[in-house]
Chains A and B, each alone.
Chain A
């Protein structure tokens, strides 16, 4: 039981680290995307661990699905980034304030 809880703790820790990574990072959008990927990873981990824990395959199917989605998402995100860079020739997060209220 300990082991299983540890697994869940690890994945939660990974999730929190990625959140902190997003928060603390003020400049680089690439780091943000990386943190986002790490979030997906943590969620996938969590699903896999729980599927093993509950002896149910649905969690693994979901994690596979998430991997696919994450890959698609990061590709789209990077594409948007490239387009943005082409226009603004900078990807500093602080300068992206066109949509202020």
Chain B
């Protein structure tokens, strides 16, 4: 059962990928959905066994690499953390598979699409179940590859190609950091297995790498390098630019990869390495700061996007920031709780956005939508549920995780902690709540409530999709409503023993209990801020449509935010372009085709030709000149015979002679 849950998607993927021609569109769709569905059922059973019954399962299959000190096995570790991730990945994946059957119905390559979706699921499962870093890295790179294939699914579109390459390359920057992290872990611990690393990490708390004369705490260094990997994969500020561009892929892909699963791999890595990063305050601070900045930045950038999917993409980026900064406040279980909840409501949002786009004949621009609530009542209601869950409306899923993260960050303001950086994170997080509510309801208004801006042709043909598309939306909507409430006590309840050893929390860093005793006003704050966001979105969209357009600051801010704060431009102009220029003009033109050519084949042949020309000119045809050279040569020969006792002198003489020529 434990291995089957991983191998089923692989088998399904191979069959529907290579045999798609014979299985046909529906055959491959049904096969792959069934495979993932069975693995979802098995994941539920694993969740029951591992999570509730407390039987942590460890399977070691075979040796992978065995060389001197390095011994890597194909090992699978099923603890509570893995079990949760398994359920999240397989459930979202099953629903997305089901959704894709209908959504990709008219696509000529739907077997390929199903195969890619499944191979992605397989790699994600390998990632979460690995018991060593190398196997985790296999899954890590695998989901990167699958994301490339899926974003690039419509490979004839230039934009899809570009954004797929962008996603892969930017992810690779993070992967580079991660691989250096793995190397340094192996250098320090002489092992890449989780169990050895985590049991040894307290011993290395005060151990320093000396790099270029600087003492660097090894735990901090390793944590930072792993975090660089997480930054790439989880689209934190700095390497986040790939995520909004990854919306070029089909919508189910966005739901599966860029909302629920792949981007959570970075957060998963941080949670998994909680026994290591707990021992470095520095790395926790970095996590807190970067996470909160990501939250704030992405929420603001998302607030004025006009593309339906891009708004949700920025929302994902923002929520990932919340997860990372919950990790930074060493509340890993809260982070994972938010990850789980977020997977449900974000998949719901994306899939219902897909439903909207499908109904409007692939129109993604929100400015060309409107009044869809009358045409698509089911989509409207599930999207409203998703949005309310996202903004943390009380008693919906988001409320239980997101508001708790904010309460935790409020605790960092306590006088005994005196954590100034935590304060910053708290304020940024709270402000992001406002922006989250604002963009969620701006989306709702522009898409569903405002009067329509669409063409009559589209309006006439609008219809709700068939039940295969509605069913996943319905299930996810139920999840978005109930998961948070149901899983709250299990995940973050006081003194829950659900996590056992899978998450480690130093007592000195533990602030979860204090978070329960935050003053009532602060507990109301996130709710009030989100209500404020909703109200402002309503004012702007319903009551007055034009007054704000006259405010210079507002329009300037809107413009800047719509352009994603020009970060893409800055990256392109100051990082990507100089690198490309360097590659072309220096490495290629000056070194490869320049310097090396000149001292190599091209320059040497030129030199020989020119020397040949010079020596040719010595033969003037004048007999006296010939005579001169003859006598000169004889004299030189005599001189050489005399000097042969002084080797160096003769060589020098020859060199001088060469220059004469």
Report which A residues bind B (CB closer than 8 A).
Answer: 19, 22-23, 25-26, 29, 32, 93-94, 96-101
Contacts of A29 in B (CB 8 A): 623
Interface residues of B in 611-631 (CB under 8 A from A): 616-624, 627-628, 631
Q: How far is the CA of A26 from the CA of B628 in the complex (A)?
A: 12
- For B622, list chain A residues within 8 Å (CB): 93-94, 96-97
**Measured between C-beta atoms, what is the minimum distance from B631 to chain A in Å?**
6
**Could you say which residues of chain A place their CB within 8 Å of the CB of B627?**
22-23
A93 touches B624 (CB 8 A): yes
Assess whether B624 is in contact with A100, with CB atoms less than 8 Å apart.
no
Q: For the complex, what is the distance from the CA of A10 to the CA of B521, rounded to whole Å?
A: 126
B617: A residues at CB distance < 8 A: 101
A1–B85 Cα distance when bound, in Å, is 113
- Chain B residues with CB under 8 Å of A23's CB are 624, 627-628, 631
Question: What's the count of A-B pairs with C-beta under 8 Å?
Answer: 33
Interface size on B, residues (CB 8 A): 12
B628 pairs with A100, CB closer than 8 A: no
Least distance between B169 CB and chain A CB atoms (Å): 59
- Closest CB of chain B to A26's CB: distance in Å? 6
Closest 4 A/B residue pairs (Cβ): A101-B619, A100-B621, A97-B621, A101-B616
A8 to B615, CA, bound (A): 38
Besides A19-B631, A93-B623, 20 other A-B contacts (C-beta < 8 A)? A22-B624, A22-B627, A23-B624, A23-B627, A23-B628, A26-B624, A29-B623, A32-B623, A93-B624, A96-B621, A96-B622, A97-B620, A98-B621, A99-B619, A99-B621, A100-B619, A100-B621, A101-B617, A101-B618, A101-B621
- Of B618, B627, B628, B631, the most chain A CB neighbours within 10 A belong to B627
For the complex, what is the distance from the CA of A14 to the CA of B41, rounded to whole Å? 116
Residues of chain A within 8 A (CB-CB) of B618 are 101
Chain B nearest CB: distance from A84 CB in Å? Answer: 12
A32 to B624, CA, bound (A): 10
B159 to chain A, nearest CB (A): 65
Give Cα A25–Cα B622 distance, bound, in whole angstroms.
12
Least CB distance, A16 to chain B, in whole angstroms: 11
How near does chain B come to A75, taking the closest CB pair, in angstroms?
20
B620 touches A101 (CB 8 A): yes
6 contacting pairs across A/B (C-beta < 8 A): A29-B623, A96-B621, A99-B619, A100-B621, A101-B620, A101-B621
Q: How far is the CB of A77 from chain B (nearest CB, A)?
A: 13
**Once the chains are docked, how many angstroms separate the CA of A98 from the CA of B627?**
16
Q: How far is the CA of A98 from the CA of B619 in the complex (A)?
A: 11
A23–B618 Cα gap in the complex (Å)? 17
Contacts of A100 in B (CB 8 A): 619-621
Q: How far is the CB of A86 from chain B (nearest CB, A)?
A: 19
Cβ contacts under 8 Å, A98 to chain B: 621
Name the distance in Å between A12's Cβ and chain B's nearest Cβ.
13
- In the complex, what distance in Å separates the CA atom of A100 from the CA atom of B619? 5
Binary per-residue interface labels of chain B (375-407) against chain A in the complex, 1 for a CB within 8 Å, 0 otherwise: 000000000000000000000000000000000
